[in-house]
Amino acid sequence: MKLQQVLSLVRRAVDDYHMIDSGDRIAVGISGGKDSMTLLYALHSLKRFYPNSFTLHAVTVDLGFHNLELGRIEDICRNELQIPYTVVKTDIADIIFEQRKESNPCSLCAKMRKGALNDAVKEAGCNKVAYAHHKDDVVETMLMSLIFEGRFHTFSPFTYLDRTGLSVIRPLIYMNEADVIGFVHKAEVPVVKSPCPADGYTKREYVKNLLRRLNQENPGVRERMFTAIVRSSLQGWPVASETDGPGKGCREV
């Protein structure tokens, strides 16, 4: 997939859910993986022509794994894209895997990572943070909630966080994971492999494989599930054509 096609999908998501206002200072959460790097390139290109002017600031939360290599990412941000880049050093990995020895580390890790990210975002003077969740993530999260929690729920395109005063936007929600992979390969975007020892052995990975099988056996089921989410009355998911601003999005307390 070419950057032009990525921009088309991102622009439609941003417009449909009114994610960006003039004067926004948007922090982009960068893990170094394919999703966050695609988001970074997309927003950087969108910034050139989008009618609502905004600025970008890339932020990486370093969990403390010693084999995480961010040199190439820093070079891209500072030199190629000329975007300010902040790396937040933490000891989250040590706390979760060495001190607490969590058997199911993902939930606690996500909470601690988001806390560190939000603090850095506010310190950088940003009012919004962009997450790189794509369409597959939306559907997988819904299935995880249904299977493991017994409720129909997933994250929304636009979320206002009451406790922090920040807004979360997800500009990649119209992109399939295959689109992201296609763009990264086409544009030769460098990515950093996750050093987390739990990577590939999580509930999300189980649901990802389940959804892959369902889609193989019933072609188009992933798209139909996504359409069901968009058309539902799920909190934070107004039908795209009926949105009238961020106020229609979900609020978290």
Measured in degrees and rounded to the nearest 5, phi and psi for residue 208 equal -60, -45
Q: Would you state the structure tokens that stand for residue 199, as one six-digit string?
A: 């990577």
pLDDT tens per residue across span 157-175:
999 998 889 999 999 999 9
225 CB neighbour count, 10 Å cutoff: 20
Q: State which H helix or E strand residue 159 sits in.
A: strand 158-161
Segments of the chain with pLDDT less than 70? 67-68, 200-201, 239-253
pLDDT for 253 equals 40
pLDDT tens per residue across span 58-112:
999 988 877 667 888 899 999 999 999 999 998 888 888 888 887 778 888 888 9
Residue with tokens 């020892």: 197
pLDDT for 171 equals 98
| 170/212 Cα distance (integer angstroms) | 22
Q: Please, what are the domains in the chain?
A: 3-252 (3.40.50.620)
Give the distance from CA 92 to its chain's centroid. Answer: 20
Round the average pLDDT of the chain to a whole number and report it: 89
215 CB neighbour count, 10 Å cutoff: 17
| 252/201 Cα distance (integer angstroms) | 29
pLDDT for 100 equals 82
Residue with tokens 């992109």: 175
Q: Return the amino acid letter for 212.
A: R
Q: Return the amino acid letter for 154.
A: T
* Angle subtended at Cα 101 by Cα 97 and Cα 103, rounded to the nearest 5 degrees: 105
